[in-house]
Amino acid sequence: MTLSTAEIIALGEKHLLGNVTRQPLALIRGQGTKVWDAEGREYLDFIAGIATCAFGHCPPFANDVLAAQSQKLWHVSNLFWNEPMVLLAELLTKTSGLSKAFFCNSGAEANEAAIKMARKYSLDRFGPGRHRIITAENSFHGRTMGAISATGQEKFRTPFEPLVPGFVFVPFGDYEALERQLDQTICAVLLEPVQGEGGVITPPPDYLAKVAELCQKKSVLLIFDEIQTGLGRTGCDFAFRHFGVTPDLLTLGKALGCGYPSGALLAAQEPAKALTPGTHSTTLGGAPLAMALGLELVGRIVEPSFLAAVEDKGRYFLNGLQKLAADLPNQTANARGLGLMLGLNLKRPSGPVSEALRHKGFLVNSTASTVLRFVPPLTVEKAEIDQLLEALISAIKEVYPE
At residue 49, the pLDDT reads: 96
At residue 50, the pLDDT reads: 96
pLDDT of 1 > 70? The answer is no
State the SS3 of the chain: CCCCHHHHHHHHHHHCCCCCCCCCCCEEEEEECEEEECCCCEEEECCHHHHCCCCCECCHHHHHHHHHHHCCCCCCCCCCCCHHHHHHHHHHHHHHCCCEEEEECCHHHHHHHHHHHHHHHHHHHHCCCCCEEEEECCCCCCCCHHHHHCCCCHHHHHHHCCCCCCEEEECCCCHHHHHHHCCCCEEEEEECCCECCCCCECCCCCHHHHHHHHHHHCCCEEEEECCCCCCCCCCCCCHHHHHCCCCCEEEECHHHCCCCCCEEEEECHHHHCCCCCCCCCCCCCCCHHHHHHHHHHHHHHCCHHHHHHHHHHHHHHHHHHHHHHHHCCCCEEEEEEECCEEEEEECCCCHHHHHHHHHCCEECEEECCCEEEECCCCCCCHHHHHHHHHHHHHHHHHHCCC
**Annotated catalytic sites, by residue?**
140, 225, 254
pLDDT band at 2 (very low <50, low <70, confident <90, very high): confident
The answer to whether the beta carbons of residues 65 and 59 sit under 8 Å apart is no
What is the pLDDT averaged over residues 152-175? 96
> What domains does the chain contain, in order, with CATH numbers?
62-301 (3.40.640.10)
Entry pTM: 0.96
Tell me: the pLDDT tens digits for 289-327?
Answer: 999 999 999 999 999 999 999 999 999 999 999 999 999
The CA distance from 309 to 98, in Å, is 25
φ/ψ of 100, rounded to 5, equals -135, 155
Percent of the chain with pLDDT over 90: 98
Tell me: the pLDDT tens digits for 245-280?
Answer: 999 999 999 999 999 999 999 999 999 999 999 999
The answer to whether the beta carbons of residues 191 and 135 sit under 8 Å apart is yes
